[in-house]
Amino acid sequence: MTQTQVTEQRLAQAESIYQTLRRTRPKTRQDLANYVKVFLGIDVPSRRICDEHSSPLDYLWHSFAGDFARPWAAKNGDAVVWANRAGGKTALAAAATLLDCVFKPNCTVRILGGSGEQSGRMYDYLVEFIGSGFEEFVRGDVRKSGCAFTNGSDVEVLTQSAKSVRGRHVRKLRCDEVELFDEDVFSAAQFITHGTDDLLGAVEVISTMHRPYGLMRQVVSSAAENNTPVFKWCLWEVIQRCRDRSCSRCALLEDCRGRAKKACGYLRIDDCISQMRRSSRAGWESEMLCLRPSVANVVFDEFDPNVHVRPVSYNADLPLYRALDFGFVNPFVCLWIQVDGEGTVRVIDEYVRRRATVEIHGRQIMERTGCDESQVAGTFCDPAGAGVNDVTGTSAVRELRGLGIALRYRRSSIGEGIELIRRAIRSADGRSRLVISPRCGRLIEAMQCYHYADRPDTGELPVKDGLYDHPIDALRYFFVNYRKTDNGVGRSY
């Protein structure tokens, strides 16, 4: 055998081994990292840099390995991915889709993006991966809207409409840039996945978090109670390792603090510096550092839980006030409030409930009040509550007064109340005169999420969304009535 023939034989053997490895399912986290690096050309960052963050490889391993874990009768295959811009979210989700289709027979995957362009981006990555040597696994043509695999798996791109997600039963749904989703479409999509004896039904939600009142915030906030893992990473998990730069001369020093020296990512440091210089501080913190969403449209943009939230409880030496906002389908809200000798408004407790009668609300309020009704300095409410109901022939104000709750109200504009709350958050002299107890979770959330419409042509008043406006309305009624009770309406009926 000539040297040329020997070389050709060895190359053929190497190619055979290479293709055999391509068809071999990764068994461990490191096997998966190696597989994706060799066959897809992605060196997935595997190190967590920030406290309470994850690495991108943590997500990929969860997505891939969950179907092979036994037993998994109670396992949740869902996942939430919250990561920075250019954090590789879409490419990793495309890699997860390819791995599902190659190694999990009859795995039906659907891609749903916040826009047609976003859905197309993930699918374009998938098509690119298929073209890198995975053509043998594909059955038929790779179409613009989807493709099928020889083992019975398939992928399809869905449009951003409720019709496209209704009536379907698939194994995996990947929602890319959910922050841009229509809420009705997202709600309908929750019922699309059905598992089998071999595969978990799973919905993966993938996005940055642009807005504190957006859909992604709701998803992240509810993840813990739904037992859904959240994989969060930021710039420091995906930036390239810093080796030869002087920290004291680096524009990233204030945020980095040496973190990049531990990194193992791919984002070029110079590109990150350029992006930082081109963006606002709020945008940089939101889009790249994943610290908090942008507060550009938030009404109380100076509200800071680190400043305005701390334990406060009922003080028998201070007057006690209550503030109510009425609701049935939307929540009924009651806040318990005291004001100390320095003028600091202390919100000590809240009651928020839907679909209950006024009588039930009234008795709950009286039970939770820390003193006798005669000692309550004032209970302020929405003036609309005095309107007579056409069905019952009475009003919420009259019913509560019948229970012994003395209500007062004063007509005011929304803008007036908002301005008074803003002054309490931070007055012109820089002082904060508002403290909210951690018990008031709904109010705290509302303070961060109460917002103006994204479109300026819809007016200058905050959005009445039935979620965040009601706790704020109750707080407004306190501020517009406090120390003005002589002008409030308190007549009997």
The per-residue pLDDT for range 82-140, each reduced to its tens digit, is 999 999 999 999 999 999 999 999 999 999 998 878 888 999 999 999 999 999 999 99
**Sign for the pseudo-dihedral over CA of 16, 22, 26, 31:** positive
Q: Which CATH number fits domain 305-487: 3.55.40.20, 3.30.420.280, 3.80.10.10, 3.40.50.970?
A: 3.30.420.280
pLDDT at position 72: 57
Residue 399 has pLDDT above 90, yes or no: yes
Write out the E strands in 54-207: 79-83, 108-113, 138-139, 146-149, 154-158, 172-176, 202-207
* Residue 459 predicted with pLDDT over 80: no
| pLDDT at residue 310 tops 50 | yes
d(CA 378, CA 323): 8
Separation between Cα atoms, residue 44 and residue 135, nearest integer Å = 23
Of the listed ranges 252-261, 296-305, 391-400, the one predicted with least confidence? 391-400
Annotated domain spans of the chain: 20-236, 305-487
The radius of gyration of the chain from alpha carbons, rounded to an integer in Å, stands at 28
CA distance 356 to 460: 32
Q: Is the peptide bond before 383 cis (omega within 30 degrees of 0)?
A: no
Residue 57 to residue 62: CA distance in whole angstroms:
8
Question: Which CATH fold would you assign to the domain 20-236?
Answer: Rossmann fold (3.40.50)
Helices and strands (DSSP H and E) totals, the chain: 18, 14
Contact 154, 148 (CB under 8 A): yes
pLDDT tens-place string over residues 143-170: 999 999 999 999 999 999 888 888 778 9
Helices 29-40, 89-103: axis angle to 10 degrees equals 100
pLDDT digits (tens, 9 = 90+) for 174-205: 999 998 899 999 999 999 999 998 999 999 99
Look at residue 387 in the predicted model and tell me its pLDDT: 87
Q: What is the pTM of this model?
A: 0.81
